[in-house]
């Protein structure tokens, strides 16, 4: 990406066809779609890219088996098609993931699950047939995507296979299981990659620019731009644009609330909080994902992710401050309990390597509904000033949401500009074997870099070659290199340590406890690597280290190390809830 300073210079001087508010996956998608159809595009993000919900998901690119229970077939089918397309467009970032539903004690596998998995297969298979037709030269009615990857049908597997895929479950001696497929990504990296592609098509993007007002040309006219406040200490200025797209997710009704609420047909956003925790792989080794029964008839996922194990999510209505969402103690406890019982192991707060929470921008048409039942469908609405708002939806369906938005722009301007995003590769995958060897770079780091950056991994390695220190891992034993901090500052508009640790790399989630430990020098090393890029002196480096520690505390990244996290409350009687047959908590 171009530097933030250059982006601001362009944003404050040039007029644009479209300004997109919000640098999550939806805004990034709209910027890419619009720019690739020939619009001049500006995108502004009030905090850091992906700092909202788009870095706090379960990281699944999936149809969502659960939505089948709600007979949301359209949503599942759409998401399954997108899932396959994402693997084709960004094979390094969006990867197939085996998922297992195990059974124990010789019990028959659940028939209801089988029905759901059959439907899941059928909804994907239809796409495969369509693709075959297209390969044979037949055009699809809507000219949709050509997908490369397609999952095998689900099947029944033996207890041994279940244990191989889920070593953490071996002690419970599973007797059989269902195996099916979904996909997984690094959500924040997906956002950064889509933004990078948008920029390739000419979009100008800048973070830490908060939209405080929309600008009218005159009564009844369309918006002619937005007023932004530079949260990095700069000026207020206007970004001039013919069209304004509000892609602010859970913040969507904060912009012009009076206008939105005056339109009777506009639904309300019901924020729903979801918490995840991360446990080191050696505590809970998984090579496939598992669906884990949890309290209250709900299930959670246990997923292998970036060498660790990710557990989540909770799903509860949220009425707190959406700018500061952190994992509450009871959510962490709920996840530890569910996983402890299922895997028949003792898990407690000391096992939590990191934790995070996010809020879903759910759309509600009826106050009586609970968040788990509210649709994950996207909603697009256009209000009196011409402002287009796109919200709801899923990480998986970002491209569809973007298409829907830009189709509306095209329609109202009577342009001829078909969507192209189904054929635009994202981030150019590269074989790690093609990357150069750089002295000091540990084994395995090249694969991790190729997975994260695709072709741009070459640039990271060139930085690693600048100084011996840059070739070293930020946290010992993890593949993330200090060079990535420098790359993040030079090429991805990272402005602080949190940007590097939370969203450019994901160490702030995977190794939060380690980073936050007083003896860890990792945060200081990142701050010192950023210093020459940002022009920081020694005092500023110390300030930035403290700023990250505050951010980690406020975000509850390391439960048990202070802040809003804290230790698990003693459970009454210490007995496990149904299903696990094992003690749940080791302490406190």
What is residue 472's three-state secondary structure?
coil
| 117 sits near ligand FAD (criterion: CB under 6 A) | no
DSSP 501-529: IIIIS-HHHHTHHHHHSTT--HHHHHHHH
- Residue with the two structure tokens 């908590």: 585
Number of separate helices (H) and strands (E) present in the chain: 18, 18
Question: Applying CB under 6 A, does 100 fall inside the site for ligand FAD?
Answer: no
How near is the Cβ of 542 to ligand FAD at its closest, in Å?
Answer: 27
Instruction: Using alpha carbons, select from 553, 513, 544 the residue that is nearest to residue 526.
Output: 544
Q: How far apart are CA 478 and CA 471, in angstroms?
A: 12
Residue 576 and residue 585: Cα distance in Å, rounded?
Answer: 9
494 is an interface residue for ligand FAD by CB under 6 A: no
The least CB distance from residue 42 to ligand FAD, in Å, is 11
Q: Tell me which residue of 278, 346, 327 sits closest to 566, measured CA to CA.
A: 327
By CB under 6 A, residue 360 contacts ligand FAD: yes
Cα-Cα end-to-end distance for the chain: 47
Decide if residue 375 touches ligand FAD (CB under 6 A): no
Q: Which two tokens stand for residue 6?
A: 């250059």
**Shortest Cβ distance from residue 352 to ligand FAD (Å)?**
16
Q: How many Å apart are CA 260 and CA 382, to the nearest integer?
A: 9
In the list 58, 84, 371, 375, the residue contacting ligand FAD (rule: CB under 6 A) is 58
Query: Residues 52, 196, 454, 496: which binds ligand FAD (CB under 6 A)?
Result: 52
- Comparing CB distances to ligand FAD, the nearer of 172 and 376 is 376
Q: Using alpha carbons only, what angle is made at residue 421 by residues 418 and 426, rounded to the nearest 5 degrees?
A: 160
Q: Which is nearer to ligand FAD, 60 or 198 (CB)?
A: 60
- Each residue 21-50 as x (binds ligand FAD by CB under 6 A) or -, in order, gives xxxxxxx----------------xxxx---
Contact 580, 342 (CB under 8 A): yes
Give the rounded distance of the alpha carbon of 212 from its chain centre. Answer: 26
With contact defined as beta carbons under 8 Å apart, do 232 and 238 qualify? no
207 binds ligand FAD (CB under 6 A): no
CB 284, CB 339: distance < 8 Å: yes
Least distance CB 341 / ligand FAD (angstroms): 21
- According to DSSP, the residues that pair with 347 across neighbouring strands are none
Residue 514 beta carbon to ligand FAD: minimum distance, rounded to whole angstroms:
23
Strand 41-44 and strand 308-312: pairing? Answer: unpaired
Q: What residues numbered 380-419 form the site for ligand FAD, per CB under 6 A?
A: 391, 393-396
With CB under 6 A as the rule, give the number of residues binding ligand FAD. 39
Pick from 12, 40, 54, 405 the residue near ligand FAD by CB under 6 A. Answer: 54
Among 12, 36, 57, 364, binds ligand FAD (CB under 6 A): 57
Residue 24 or 473 with smaller CB distance to ligand FAD: 24
Rounded alpha-carbon distances, angstroms, from residue 503 to 17, 55, 191, 362? 29, 7, 10, 23
Is there binding between residue 427 and ligand FAD (CB under 6 A)? no
Residues 265-294 touching ligand FAD, rule: CB under 6 A, are 274
Between 224 and 313, CB nearer to ligand FAD = 313
Complex with ligand FAD: residue 276 or 283, whichever CB lies closer: 276
Nearest to 480 by CA among 435, 430, 502, 466: 502
Contact with ligand FAD (CB under 6 A) among 109, 119, 128, 210: 210
Stretch in the footprint of ligand FAD (CB under 6 A) among 15-23, 236-244, 287-295, 343-351: 15-23
Nearer to ligand FAD, 565 or 580 (CB): 565
CB of 108 to ligand FAD, least distance (A): 29
Contacts 24+ apart (CB under 8 A), 2-7: 2/199, 2/204, 3/490, 3/493, 4/206, 4/207, 4/208, 4/232, 4/493, 4/495, 7/204, 7/205, 7/206, 7/493
Considering the rule CB under 6 A, would residue 504 count as an interface residue with ligand FAD? no
Helix (H) or strand (E) holding 398: helix 398-413
- Element (H or E) spanning 78, and its range? helix 73-89
Q: Determine if 493 is a binding residue for ligand FAD (CB under 6 A).
A: no
Q: Is 193 helix (H, G, I), strand (E, B) or coil?
A: helix
Q: How far is CA 196 from CA 59, 450, 554, in A?
A: 20, 16, 30
Give least dist CB 570 to ligand FAD, A.
Answer: 27
Q: Please report whether residue 556 would count as binding ligand FAD according to CB under 6 A.
A: no
Instruction: Scan residues 241-260 and list those touching ligand FAD (CB under 6 A).
Output: 247-251, 255
Q: How far is the CB of 189 from ligand FAD (least distance, A)?
A: 13
Q: How far is the CB of 495 from ligand FAD (least distance, A)?
A: 14
Give the contacts of 111 (CB within 8 A, at least 6 positions apart). Answer: none
Residue 45 CB, nearest approach to ligand FAD (Å): 5
CA distance 565 to 548: 16
Residue 448 CB, shortest distance to ligand FAD, in Å, is: 21
By CB under 6 A, the residues from 309 to 338 that bind ligand FAD are 313
Q: Tell whether residue 53 is a contact of ligand FAD (CB under 6 A).
A: yes
Q: Which region among 12-20, 54-62, 106-114, 139-147 touches ligand FAD (by CB under 6 A)?
A: 54-62
Nearer to ligand FAD, 159 or 393 (CB): 393
Q: Tell the smallest beta-carbon distance from residue 300 to ligand FAD (Å).
A: 11
Task: Enumerate binding residues for ligand FAD (CB under 6 A).
Answer: 21-27, 44-47, 51-54, 56-60, 210-211, 247-251, 255, 274, 313, 358-361, 391, 393-396
């Amino acid at each position: 990406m171009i530097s933030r300073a250059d982006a601001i210079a362009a944003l404050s001087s040039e007029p644009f066809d479209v300004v997109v508010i919000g640098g999550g996956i939806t805004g990034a998608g709209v910027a890419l779609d619009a720019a690739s159809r020939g619009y001049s595009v500006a995108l502004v993000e009030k905090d850091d890219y992906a700092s909202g919900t788009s870095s706090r998901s379960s990281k699944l690119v999936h149809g969502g088996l659960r939505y089948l229970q709600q007979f949301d077939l359209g949503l599942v089918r759409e998401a399954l098609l997108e899932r396959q397309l994402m693997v084709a467009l960004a094979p390094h970032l969006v990867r197939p993931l085996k998922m297992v539903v195990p059974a124990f004690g010789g019990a028959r596998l659940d028939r209801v699950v089988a029905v759901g998995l059959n439907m899941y297969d059928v909804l994907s298979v239809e796409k495969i047939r369509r693709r075959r037709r297209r390969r044979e030269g037949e055009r699809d009615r809507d000219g949709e995507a050509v997908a490369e990857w397609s999952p095998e049908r689900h099947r029944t597997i033996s207890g041994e296979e279940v244990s191989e895929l889920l070593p953490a479950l071996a002690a419970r001696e599973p007797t059989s299981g269902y195996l099916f497929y979904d996909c997984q990504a690094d959500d924040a990296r997906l956002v950064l990659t889509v933004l990078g592609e948008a920029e390739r098509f000419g979009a100008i993007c800048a973070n830490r620019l908060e939209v405080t007002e929309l600008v009218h040309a005159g009564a009844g006219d369309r918006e002619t731009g937005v007023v932004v406040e530079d949260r990095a200490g700069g000026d207020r200025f206007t970004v001039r644009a013919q069209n304004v797209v509000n892609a602010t997710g859970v913040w969507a009704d904060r912009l012009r609330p009076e206008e939105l609420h005056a339109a009777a047909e506009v639904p309300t956003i019901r924020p729903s909080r979801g918490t995840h925790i991360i446990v080191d792989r050696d505590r809970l080794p998984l090579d496939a994902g598992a669906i884990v029964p949890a309290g209250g008839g709900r299930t959670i996922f246990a997923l292998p992710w970036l060498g660790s194990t990710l557990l989540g999510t909770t799903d509860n209505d949220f009425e707190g401050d959406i700018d500061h969402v952190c994992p509450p103690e009871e959510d962490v406890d709920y996840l530890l309990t569910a996983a402890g019982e299922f895997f028949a192991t003792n898990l407690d707060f000391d096992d939590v390597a990191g934790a995070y929470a996010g809020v879903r921008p759910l759309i509600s048409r009826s106050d009586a509904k609970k968040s788990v039942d509210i649709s994950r469908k996207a909603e697009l609405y256009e209000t009196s000033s011409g402002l287009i708002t796109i919200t709801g939806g899923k990480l998986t369906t970002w491209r569809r949401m973007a298409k829907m938005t830009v189709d509306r722009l095209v329609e109202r301007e009577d342009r001829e500009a078909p969507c192209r995003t189904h054929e635009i590769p994202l981030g150019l995958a590269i074989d790690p074997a093609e990357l150069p060897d750089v002295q000091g770079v540990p084994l395995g780091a090249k694969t991790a870099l190729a997975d994260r950056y695709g072709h741009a991994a070459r640039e990271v390695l060139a930085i690693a070659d600048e100084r011996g220190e840059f070739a070293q891992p930020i946290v010992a034993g993890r593949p993330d290199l200090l060079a990535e901090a420098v790359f993040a500052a030079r090429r991805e508009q990272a402005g602080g340590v949190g940007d590097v640790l939370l969203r450019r790399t994901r160490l702030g989630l995977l190794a939060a406890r380690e980073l936050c430990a007083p003896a860890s020098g990792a945060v200081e090393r990142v701050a010192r690597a950023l210093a020459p890029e940002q022009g920081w002196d020694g005092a500023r480096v110390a300030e930035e280290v403290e700023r990250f520690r505050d951010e980690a505390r406020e975000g509850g990244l390391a439960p048990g190390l202070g802040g809003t996290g804290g230790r698990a409350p003693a459970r009454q009687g210490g007995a496990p809830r149904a299903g696990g047959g094992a003690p749940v908590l080791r302490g406190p």
